[in-house]
């Protein structure tokens, strides 16, 4: 790869016009989706809209497209970036000119992404992210791949070269982990299907309400009711019909999970550089991002019973103030157990997972029990009004679930503390382990309600720059000593949190 | 959850019912207002702050009492807010921001103005000193 000169202001790849055009068109369609929908519907019904002929409509469409294209060209022409020794400079904007300067030392992350359109015309987008809010984030939407890689290297290398030898940095890299399709398939199958089910359901209900009137024309409601009537003649038929419905729901939900897992995590790779970890993944949206250990705030390891049996663990890496949309990209799925501990050792030094595990107080169960009681009430009260007292048997199902919830959540709750790390375990169906480094703590909170005060129980809430972690319901004096210990460690160490 | 409640409200409550129920709604709001005032007065005793060499502590809450400590080293910036009401009473609100989520930010309300100024200066000096 020949070295590329970034010191002069330059534009994106010419293909950028196409990408910006695509983005703008998409934005436009999204914003006026409802309007266009109404427009389309009335068009299909009456063959005209506001007395406009078909020719007019075509002309209007072309004009709109031309305007979007012109905007795209102008955006492209006004978008210039360059890199100096310490800073990244960017100027953009058609009417409101905007100049941004980011010091290299403040760059948190550089991603390389590729969506479907970008894959077709073979360019990538580069996202430069700082620890600030979403607005300070920068996206260069179309660069040739090797230029993008070179830019990324320039942005990172200069900063690290103060401490490291540059040559070593660039050459020493090895693939640490690569997810095979089989593991991804298993990962998809063992996911929480309930979540997928809810997503599908809400999607369909949303569609249904959007098109309610349109659908009523087809009398679908009556047709469905007709078929249900036919099949619910006998109890056996009724049971079979319900089983078929459940079966279909399970199949569709798991299919959805599998497809989603595949699309998001296709070709998942974890590459290890000298000091950084790089993650590549994605089918439609290809993402490539690097993690610098000093910026990591929390590590969350997740698995569930089925996944543990299959040897599948998920590690999410939380960095400071990354917006919710991007947080997903930090998830590394389908790791084996030994890989998890290796990865943790790579990301945080001297982590010791064999410490004694402390449990919360028995009071924890009382809180879970109250939660469950409220849940059962929430189920029961509307059910009583809708079905009357006939369907009380639903509590026979709910009660064991509640007991299981209480038992599991207590069983999985624990915490570990040593000089540098806090580890908190939680979860009900999932088993979640949260790891945080003590010197990255932002603030510590000691929390106690008046009911807990009588029983000498309290919680400690630890905030880092990306997540709040709670050590729930432990003995008051213990909580107090943890609280003091954490503050002592943070205040006496001179380590930076980022 | 929130959408669920909104949705069910839209489902069950007609416009007419809302018209008729308006006095009740006002009454409910009044009761909430009085309760809020009561709790506010009672909880006032529980609001405490402390400034130590390396951290600042704020404690609040009547039923759920929480004590939050922010090490001065971790403070990103600090704000002194005075609206017209607090200017009239000579009070100030001190807001202390960290890089953490909003939950880890402190906001000490109703400080005497000069006390707020003093803390503000002390912390700013400390924060600038460490960088």
Q: How far apart are CA A86 and CA A103, in angstroms?
A: 6
Q: How far apart are CA A467 and CA B103, in angstroms?
A: 10
Contact A463 B98 (CB under 8 A): yes
Q: How far apart are CA B26 and CA A282, in angstroms?
A: 54
B33 plus B50 within the same structural domain: no
Q: Residue A322 pLDDT > 70, yes or no?
A: no
pLDDT band at A475, cuts 50/70/90?
very high
CB B74 within 8 A of CB B86: no
pLDDT band at B10, cuts 50/70/90?
low
**Mean pLDDT, residues A304-312 taken together:** 84
Handedness of CA A379, A381, A386, A387 (dihedral sign): positive
Start-to-end CA span in chain A (Å): 32
B23 plus B85 within the same structural domain: no
**Mean pLDDT, residues A377-385 taken together:** 80
B35 plus B54 within the same structural domain: no
Chain B window 73-112: which residues touch A at a Cβ cutoff of 8 Å?
73-74, 98-101, 103-104, 106
Residues of A in contact with B45 (CB under 8 A): none
The residues pairing with A99 across neighbouring beta strands, listed in sequence order, are A91
* Lowest-pLDDT choice from A205-214, A358-367, B27-36: A205-214
**Mean pLDDT, residues B32-47 taken together:** 90
Q: How far apart are CA A418 and CA A355, in angstroms?
A: 8
Q: How far is CA A353 from the centre of its chain?
A: 26
Q: How far apart are CA A151 and CA A136, in angstroms?
A: 19
Contact B71 A443 (CB under 8 A): yes
Q: How far apart are CA A246 and CA A257, in angstroms?
A: 16
CB A219 within 8 A of CB A288: no
Shortest alpha-carbon distance between residue A447 and chain B (Å): 4
**Residues in chain B, overall count:** 131
Residues of B in contact with A320 (CB under 8 A): 99
pLDDT band at A46, cuts 50/70/90?
low
What ipTM describes this predicted complex? 0.79
pLDDT on residue A167: 40
B51 plus B103 within the same structural domain: yes
Contact B98 A441 (CB under 8 A): no
* Lowest-pLDDT choice from A24-33, A365-374, B111-120: A24-33
Contact B100 A483 (CB under 8 A): no
Angle at A418 between CA A412 and CA A423, to 5 degrees: 30
Q: Phi/psi at A191 (nearest 5 deg)?
A: -75, 175
pLDDT band at A123, cuts 50/70/90?
confident
pLDDT on residue A169: 45
Interface size between A and B, measured as CB pairs under 8 A: 79
**Mean pLDDT, residues B32-59 taken together:** 90
B81 plus B110 within the same structural domain: yes
Counting the structural domains of chain B, the total is: 2
CB A438 within 8 A of CB A422: yes
**Mean pLDDT, residues A94-106 taken together:** 80
- Count Cβ atoms within 10 A of the Cβ of residue B31 and give its class: 0-12 exposed, 13-18 middle, 19 or more buried: exposed
**Mean pLDDT, residues A120-134 taken together:** 74
Q: How far is CA A55 from the centre of its chain?
A: 45
Crossing angle (nearest 10°) for helices A394-412 and A363-387: 160
Handedness of CA A201, A206, A208, A209 (dihedral sign): positive
Q: How far apart are CA A277 and CA A214, in angstroms?
A: 52
Contact B64 A467 (CB under 8 A): no
CB A265 within 8 A of CB A335: no
pLDDT digits (tens, 9 = 90+) for A394-449: 778 888 888 988 999 999 999 999 888 999 999 888 889 999 989 888 889 999 99
Q: Walk across the sheet containing B55-60 and list its strands.
A: A468-475, A457-464, A441-449, B64-71, B55-60, B48-51
Return the beta strands (E) in chain B as ranges: 48-51, 55-60, 64-71, 75-81, 91-98, 106-112
- Count Cβ atoms within 10 A of the Cβ of residue A409 and give its class: 0-12 exposed, 13-18 middle, 19 or more buried: buried
B84 plus B33 within the same structural domain: no
B59 plus B20 within the same structural domain: no
User: In terms of Cα–Cα distance, which of A434, A443, A445, A281 is closest to A348?
Assistant: A434
Which residue of chain B is at minimal alpha-carbon distance from A448?
B65
* Residue B67: CATH number of its domain: 2.30.29.30
Q: Residue A486 pLDDT > 90, yes or no?
A: yes
**Mean pLDDT, residues A296-312 taken together:** 85
Buried b (16+ CB within 10 A) or exposed e, A364-401: bbebbeeebeeebeeeeeebeeeeeeeeeeeeeeeeee
What contacts B65, CB < 8 A, 6 or more positions away? A447, A448, A449, A450, A453, B46, B59
Which of A463, A487, A491 comes nearest B104 by C-beta? Answer: A463
The residues pairing with B75 across neighbouring beta strands, listed in sequence order, are B98
B54 plus B105 within the same structural domain: yes
The larger pLDDT score, comparing residue A173 to residue A450, is at: A450
Q: What domain range includes position B88?
A: 46-130
pLDDT band at A481, cuts 50/70/90?
very high
The residues pairing with A482 across neighbouring beta strands, listed in sequence order, are none
Q: Residue B4 pLDDT > 60, yes or no?
A: yes
Residues of A in contact with B54 (CB under 8 A): 491
Shortest alpha-carbon distance between residue B36 and chain A (Å): 18
User: Which domains are present in chain A?
Assistant: 16-177 (no CATH), 187-265 (no CATH), 292-360+413-492 (2.30.29.30), 363-410 (no CATH)
**Mean pLDDT, residues A42-69 taken together:** 76
pLDDT on residue A189: 81
The larger pLDDT score, comparing residue A285 to residue B1, is at: A285
pLDDT band at A214, cuts 50/70/90?
low
Contact A487 B69 (CB under 8 A): yes
B11 plus B65 within the same structural domain: no
Q: How far apart are CA A282 and CA A293, in angstroms?
A: 23
pLDDT digits (tens, 9 = 90+) for B89-110: 989 999 888 876 655 578 888 8
Best of A379, A442, A449 to disrupt the B interface by mutation (most B CBs within 10 Å)? Answer: A442
SS3 A364: helix
Residues of B in contact with A463 (CB under 8 A): 98, 100-101, 103-104
**C-alpha distances in Å from residue A220, one per residue of A106, A169, A204, A224, A244:** 58, 64, 15, 6, 20
B54 plus B69 within the same structural domain: yes
**Mean pLDDT, residues A170-188 taken together:** 76
Which residue of chain A is at minimal alpha-carbon distance from B61?
A449
The residues pairing with A433 across neighbouring beta strands, listed in sequence order, are A301, A425
Beta-carbon-side half-sphere exposure of residue A190 (alpha carbons within 13 Å):
23
CB A69 within 8 A of CB A25: no
Which residue of chain A is at minimal alpha-carbon distance from B67?
A446
User: In terms of Cα–Cα distance, which of A92, A150, A104 is closest to A124?
Assistant: A150
pLDDT on residue A483: 93
B27 plus B53 within the same structural domain: no
The larger pLDDT score, comparing residue A481 to residue A398, is at: A481
Instruction: Give chain A's mean pLDDT.
Output: 79
pLDDT on residue A133: 54
In A450-498, alpha helices (H): 450-455, 476-492
Residues of A in contact with B106 (CB under 8 A): 443
pLDDT digits (tens, 9 = 90+) for B55-94: 899 998 888 899 999 988 888 888 888 888 888 998 999 9
Q: Phi/psi at A6 (nearest 5 deg)?
A: -105, 5
Q: How far apart are CA A32 and CA A40, in angstroms?
A: 12
Residues of B in contact with A487 (CB under 8 A): 55, 69, 71
B61 plus B121 within the same structural domain: yes
pLDDT band at A146, cuts 50/70/90?
confident
Q: How far is CA A168 from the centre of its chain?
A: 33
């Amino acid at each position: 790869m020949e070295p590329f000169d970034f010191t002069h202001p330059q534009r994106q790849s010419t293909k950028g016009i196409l990408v910006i055009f695509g983005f703008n068109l998409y934005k436009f369609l999204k914003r006026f989706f409802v309007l266009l929908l109404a427009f389309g519907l009335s068009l299909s019904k009456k063959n005209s809209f506001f007395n406009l002929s078909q020719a007019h409509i075509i002309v209007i469409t072309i004009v709109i497209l031309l305007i979007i294209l012109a905007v795209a060209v102008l955006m492209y022409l006004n978008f210039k970036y360059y890199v100096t020794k310490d800073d990244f400079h960017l100027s953009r904007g058609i009417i409101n000119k905007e100049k941004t300067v980011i010091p290299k030392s403040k760059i948190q992350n550089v991603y390389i992404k590729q969506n479907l359109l970008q894959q077709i015309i073979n360019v990538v987008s580069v996202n430069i992210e700082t620890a600030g809010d979403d607005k300070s984030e920068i996206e260069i939407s179309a660069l040739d791949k090797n230029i993008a890689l070179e830019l990324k290297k320039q942005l990172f290398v200069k900063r690290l070269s103060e401490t490291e030898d540059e040559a070593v940095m660039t050459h020493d890299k090895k693939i640490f982990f690569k997810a095979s399709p089989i593991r991804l398939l298993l990962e998809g199958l063992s996911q929480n299907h309930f979540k997928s089910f809810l997503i599908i359901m809400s999607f369909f209900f949303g569609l249904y309400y959007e098109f309610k009137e349109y659908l009523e024309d087809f009398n679908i409601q009556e047709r469905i009711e007709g078929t249900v009537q036919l099949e619910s003649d006998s109890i056996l038929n009724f049971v079979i019909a319900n089983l078929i419905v459940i079966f279909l729901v399970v199949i569709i939900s798991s299919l959805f999970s599998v497809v989603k897992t595949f699309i998001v995590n296709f070709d998942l790779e974890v590459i290890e550089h000298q000091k950084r970890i790089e993650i590549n993944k994605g089918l439609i949206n290809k993402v490539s991002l690097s993690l610098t250990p000093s910026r990591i705030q929390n590590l969350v390891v997740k698995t569930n019973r089925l996944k543990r049996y299959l040897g599948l663990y998920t590690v999410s890496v939380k960095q400071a103030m990354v917006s919710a949309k991007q947080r997903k990209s930090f998830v590394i799925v389908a790791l084996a157990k030994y890989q998890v501990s290796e990865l943790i050792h790579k990301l945080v030094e001297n982590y010791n997972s064999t410490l004694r595990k402390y449990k919360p107080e028995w009071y924890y169960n009382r809180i879970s029990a109250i939660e469950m009681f409220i849940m059962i009430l929430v189920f029961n009260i509307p059910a009583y009004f809708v079905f009357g007292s006939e369907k009380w048997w639903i509590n026979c199902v709910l009660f064991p679930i509640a007991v299981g919830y209480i038992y599991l959540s207590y069983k999985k709750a624990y915490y570990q503390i040593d000089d540098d790390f806090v580890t908190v375990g939680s979860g009900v169906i999932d088993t979640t382990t949260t790891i945080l480094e003590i010197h990255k703590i932002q603030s510590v909170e000691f929390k106690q309600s008046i009911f807990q005060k009588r029983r000498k129980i309290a919680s400690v809430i630890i905030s880092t720059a990306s997540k709040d972690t709670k050590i729930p319901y432990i003995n008051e004096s213990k909580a107090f000593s943890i609280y003091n210990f954490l503050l002592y460690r943070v205040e006496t160490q001179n380590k930076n949190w980022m | 959850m929130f959408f669920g409640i909104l949705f069910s409200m839209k489902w069950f409550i007609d416009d007419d019912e809302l018209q008729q129920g308006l006095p009740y709604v006002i009454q409910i709001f009044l009761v909430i207002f009085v309760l809020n005032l009561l709790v506010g007065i009672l909880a006032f005793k529980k609001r405490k702050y402390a400034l130590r060499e390396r951290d600042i502590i704020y404690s609040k809450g009547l039923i759920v009492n929480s004590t939050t400590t922010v090490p001065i080293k971790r403070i990103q910036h600090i704000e002194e807010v005075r609206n017209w009401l607090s200017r009239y009473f000579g009070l100030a609100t001190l807001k202390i921001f960290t890089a953490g989520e909003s939950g880890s930010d402190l906001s000490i309300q109703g400080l005497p103005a000069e006390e707020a100024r003093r803390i503000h200066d002390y912390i700013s000096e400390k924060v600038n000193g460490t960088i």
